[in-house]
A and B are shown apart, each in its own frame.
Chain A
Amino acid sequence: DQQVKQNSPSLSVQEGRISILNCDYTNSMFDYFLWYKKYPAEGPTFLISISSIKDKNEDGRFTVFLNKSAKHLSLHIVPSQPGDSAVYFCAASASGSARQLTFGSGTQLTVLP
């Protein structure tokens, strides 16, 4: 039973446009959410996080939105750049502790020049 779901395995976007990556979760106890980016042959790197007390968190070109009632979060990248092409994983935690981090299956983002 996947508690964190990324239903789009892949997404292609034109350079300069907005990329929107989606993530749904089923566990209402999740209260901390993270996005990781992974390039081929490298480990995932932390991108941005959001606590359930917020509905938006911004860091440069990256914004994460959280809709608790819908159990849905999204990552917006504006403007998208070719270097953003990577696999993006969303992850969720029930306690703010990394011990309970549950990952989605990932979305491959391709930004076309």
Chain B
Amino acid sequence: DVKVTQSSRYLVKRTGEKVFLECVQDMDHENMFWYRQDPGLGLRLIYFSYDVKMKEKGDIPEGYSVSREKKERFSLILESASTNQTSMYLCASSRHRTGELFFGEGSRLTVL
């Protein structure tokens, strides 16, 4: 089975802090994604990557950056956390040219 592992299930940070969310997948998938899930808004795409060192902006990239130095690892970075970034963050991966995403369990971030 595909396994997507997110490093932290729950985080509490203060406004202005730098936040790293890490994601690792074990199925050699080309594509990796970061979404955030908010009530009433569903899942919104922040960034995705289709290859090592490649990245593309999703629908809501402002305030975020990403890093993909190895195929299996995709990191989401909040350079200076703000309260409106309090959310559930979901990492996902997929094979090239398929629509099926495999998600991690999510990281619940609270910014105070």
Interface residues of A (CB under 8 A from B): 4, 6, 9, 32, 34, 36, 41-46, 49, 89, 91, 93, 96-99, 101, 103-106
Contacts and interface: CB of A to CB of B under 8 A. Distances in A.
B35, B41, B101, B105: most-surrounded residue (chain A CB, <10 A): B101
Nearest to B108: A41
Contacts of B94: 98
Interface in B1-49: 4, 9, 31, 33, 35, 40-45, 48
A96 B40 contact: no
A97 B90 contact: no
- Chain B interface SS verdict (over half): strand
A44 B101 CA distance: 9
B102 interface: yes
B42 A89 contact: yes
Contacts of A44: 43, 90, 101, 103
Given A43-B90, A44-B43, A104-B42, A97 B103 contact: no
Interface of B: 4, 9, 31, 33, 35, 40-45, 48, 50, 56, 90, 92, 94, 97-106
A97 B43 contact: no
A49 B33 CA distance: 19
B101 A41 contact: no
A105 B42 contact: yes
A1 B86 CA distance: 22
Contact of B43 (A46, A89, A93, A98): A89
